[in-house]
Each structure stands twice: as structure tokens, then as C-alpha cells.
Structure 1
Amino acid sequence: MSVVRKGMNTFDIKILGIILMFVDHIHQMFFYAVPQWIDYFGRPVATLFFFVSVVGFSHTSNKKKYLLRLYIGSLIMVIGSALIGHLAPASGPMSNFGLANNIFRDLFLGVVLMYGVDAFQHFIKTRKILDFLKGALLLSLPILLSIPVLFAGQLPTAILIGYTTLVPNILITENTFMIYVIPLLYVFRKKRLLQILIIVLTSMIFLVTGGGSQWLMIFAAIPVYLFNGEKGNSMRGFFYAFYPIHIWILYALSCWISG
């Protein structure tokens, strides 16, 4: 008989994350009717999913397949959002709203960054310059891939749309440079208190630099502290499907109601 450890497992943290995310997206899609403070509930969400991705990458038996799933998810999100935007044209207060949600991009690039950490850790053991160069390239890749986006005004629209659809980069992620929290959490994946310190320090940076309510990500430290190291129920397909579907439904409802 297996013993259930106290605290929160990966499944529990995912469930908490999607609940808070759903509340946050209600505010996002119905911003014209829902109070601004509802947005506060969503500030820890990205950090929770960053932490879960670190746990997943650390324990998966097939890291390449994990990376591929996230990439496919990002493509489905882009194509589906474009289709929903066409089928449910925005009007009224939603007329200037752009449906750009795609956490899959953040997590995909986060996995790339964790590959970079692995390469550097391998370099420490082997002292091979190729491992060092691989690590440096992978850790800078999200930024390097954003260079064409900086010249968006000089690129044909079709090429720019195709590039941003097929090539995730730091400028089109939901959390931009905050994705570098992922490799930091991965480096200290066996030191929970240091992971919590990273979350706290990042939230303080947002607080002192005027990053709006994003400093409330500090509350993600509580589930991270309570994490008991267990996986819990999987339901992987549910979590992959829930994210895009709930966004598309809320967006379509908002367009219909506001119109």
C-alpha cells in the first residue's frame, strides 16, 4: 500500500494553476465588465507552470518528445486563435483586443533553456569546448531568434506572420524575459529553498521596477514550498487541451456579448 505524502503533488499544483488562470482570463476577456483586481489571481500562474515544467523535464523519459509536444501546442494555439478570431470577429470594447495568449511558447523556450543548462553541466564534467558553446547557444537562442522580429517593419507581412508562427522567440512570449526563471529553477531543482528565493527575488524586481501586479507571483512560492515531490494523477491530455479551449470559448463569448 502506497503512502500518500503530505503537501501538494504535481497534479495539485496544475489544478491550482488552471483555476487561477481561468479566473485571470475571465478578467482578460471581459475587461470591460470585470473589476481590475480579479487580475491579481493570475499573477502566480506562470511561475507555477514554470515550476511544473522544471519537474516534468527533470523526470520525463523522453525530453525530445516533451519539447515536441510543447511546440505542436504552440502551433495549434496560433492557428486556432486565428481561426476563432475570424469566426468571432471582435466589435465594441473588444475591437482592439488581440488574442495572443500562448503559454506553450514560454514553456517550449523554457525547455530549450533547460537543455542549455544540461549542456553547461556536461561541460563542467567533460571540459569540452563544444559543450560550452552548445550551452551558450541554447541559453541565448530565445533572444537570437527574436532578431528578425526587431526588423518587422522591413519584412513582408506574410514572411513575418510565418516566422512568428513557426519560430517561438522571447519577444512573442507571454512573459518575455521572465522565461529565464525556468533555467534558474532547473539549476536549483534539488534545492527547494533556493527555488523559492528565486521566485521571491524575481517578484521583488517587478515590485521595485513598477512591474504592475506581477510582483504577486510571490504567492507561487507557497505551492512550491508545499510540493511533496510526487506526480499524482496525470491527465496530461486534459491540461494540454484545457488551456486553448477555455481561452477560445471565453474570447468567443466576450465578442458575442460585447457585440
Structure 2
Amino acid sequence: MEKSNKLEKYSKLPLSGFSLKIIGIILMVFDHIHQMFYFAGIPTWFTMLGRLVAPIFIFLSSEGMRYTHSRLKYIRNLAFGSIFMTFMTTILQRVLPSEEGVMLMNNIFGTMLSIAVCISVIDIIISGFKNSNWKNLIVGFLLLALVLIYNFTSMYLMAVPVVGIYIVLAIPSFFMVEGGPVFVILGIILYYCKGNKVLQITTIAAASIISTGFWASGFEFNSLFSENIQWMMIFSAIPIALYNGKEGKKMKKFFYVFYPAHIAVLYIISVMIFK
């Protein structure tokens, strides 16, 4: 009842899931313009705005896992998106290498896929405990073991001749996805903190600090406003705090198309203009 009251209170807030997606997409374009044209003098604040993007889409992904009609289809779509992004960026860089050193390592689909798989496995285990369902418990723990084994051995798989690198490229691991384990754990916690904005914002703040590495050797305060700007992802807590729990207008396929398309277009323009 308490969680229901919280969600009802949030329903009066101004931002729907659709609004968050639009905000995320606009900021993402700014970030990727800086990524592709930083050498042409694009200001650093473009990529500062981009620090908000990953937490917003990770949050929306956790919401998507809660409300999707078919988790299998949701995970399948993310898997296809992740594989496509990996091979698209690899091929683009081989066919059109950037003389300015622009690197394509963009694949938020891989991060979202890792989060979705982990949530699904954890939910199977939780369901097993709640319902005293031994079958779910056994399946859940076996899947968890497989997930952990794969993720902790993925670096060694890359050394396997011919097929190793392609397996790792096709099946993302926590340690190789965009944002690494920090983003994966962030998505899992955001999912299980549904209805508790204080915990969600605290988690985003913690992820921001960890990603920035305030304790790192050689850390300089001035770098927080020039190079070491990952802490700025904390500002994503503002639009997320204003989320009302409603989906809003549907745009399920748009992001799957726009994300790879705009990266490819910006990269090609970057390479061709400054070739």
C-alpha cells in the first residue's frame, strides 16, 4: 500500500517515459557530436551534457523490464541491437579509419542487455524463494552460475583462435560493456528500488563517484571540469526525480534505429570532411 501511495504521488510529476527518452536523445546527440568532432573545436560542455545520458537510458531500461509484455522479446531486441552495434562500429572503422583518431566504442545496448539478463535471473531466484518453487531456484542459480562464469572468463575467451573474439563481441560481458560493472549494477539497483526515489538518486550519486574515481592516484580537482567529468552523470537525477511513472507516447522502435543511425552518420561525416 505504501509503495502504491508513493507511485500515485509521483503521477503528478511532469516527465513521462517518453519525455525522458526525448531528453536523453537530445543530450546524446550533443555528446556524440563532441565525440566525432572534438578535434574541430567542439566545446567540452557538449560532452558534459552527455554524462546524463547513460543513467537516463539505464533507468528507462529498468522500467522497460518491469512493464514489458515479453521479457524474452525485450532481451532478444537488445541482443540484436548489441550485436548490430558491435559489428557496425567495427566495420565502419575498418572501411573508413579516422585520421583524427575518433574511436567508436558506443554500445549502450550491450549494457542494457547485461542489466536485463541479470534482472531476469535474479527475479527467477526471488520467485523461487517466495513460492517455495525448487525448480525456479535450481534454474535460477544455474543461470546465475553461467552468467558469472561467462563474465569472469570472457577476457580469456578472446584468446581462443578464430571464434573467441567473435563470441565476446556478440555476447557482452560486465567488464566490456559501456560503463562496465558500475552501470550494470546501477541498472539492477534502480530496478529493485522502484518507487523509492531517494534510494534511486543515492544510487546514481554513488555510481557517479565510483565512475569518476575521486580516490584515484594522481587525482586533481581541476580535472573535474575538463577531463574527469564522469561525476556529472549525477545531474541525471534531476529528470529521473521528475519522472511520473507513466510511459507516455510510444516510440519502441525509434531508439533502436536512431541510436546506430546517428552514430554512423556523424562518424562518416567526421571522416569524410576531415579526410
**Same fold? TM cut 0.5:** yes
For residue 65 of structure 1, report the CA deviation from its aligned partner: 0.5
* Match among 209, 215, 218 for residue 209 of structure 1: 215
Aligned residue type for 2:37: F
Where 1:32 maps in the other structure, the secondary structure is helix
CA distance in 2, matches of 1:127, 1:257: 62
- Residues 218-233 of structure 1: matches in 2 within 5 Å? 218-233=234-249
- 1:168: Cα distance to partner? 1.4
Q: Are 1:183 and 2:188 counterparts?
A: yes
Query: For the Cα contact (< 8 Å) 1:112–1:138, is it kept in 2?
Result: no
Alignment of 1:40-189 (within 5 A): 40-91=48-99, 93-94=100-101, 97-128=102-133, 131-132=136-137, 134-136=139-141, 138=143, 143-151=148-156, 154-156=159-161, 158-178=162-182, 179-189=184-194
Can you list the C-alpha shifts for 1:71-129, whole angstroms capped at 9, x where unaligned? 111122122223323442322x22xx432211111111110111123123213313455
Are 1:10 and 2:26 counterparts? Answer: no
Q: Is the 8 A contact 1:143 1:170 kept in 2?
A: no
Write the letter of the residue equivalent to 2:203. Answer: I
Runs of 4+ in 1 over 6 A off after TM superposition: none
CA-to-partner distance for each residue in 1:42-94, whole Å, 9 max, x for gaps?
11211100110111111111111111011111122122223323442322x22
**Change beyond 3 A, Cα 1:142–1:17:** farther
Count of aligned residue pairs for this structure pair: 252
Q: How many angstroms apart in 2 are the aligned matches of 1:190 and 1:133?
A: 30
130-139 vs 240-249, which moves further:
130-139
Structure 1 residues 141 and 19: CA distance shift in structure 2, 3 A:
farther
Q: Is 169-178 or 30-39 further displaced after alignment?
A: 30-39
Which AA in structure 2 matches 1:173?
Answer: V
Alignment equivalent of 2:34, drawn from 27, 30, 34: 27
TM-score (norm 2): 0.82
Q: Which runs of 5+ in 1 are unaligned?
A: none
SS at match of 2:259: helix
Aligned counterparts of 2:140 and 2:30: Cα–Cα separation in 1? 38
Q: Which structure 2 residue ranges, 5 or more long, are not aligned? A: 1-10, 220-227
Q: Structure 1 length as normaliser, TM-score?
A: 0.87
Task: Give 1:196 deviation, angstroms.
Answer: 1.5
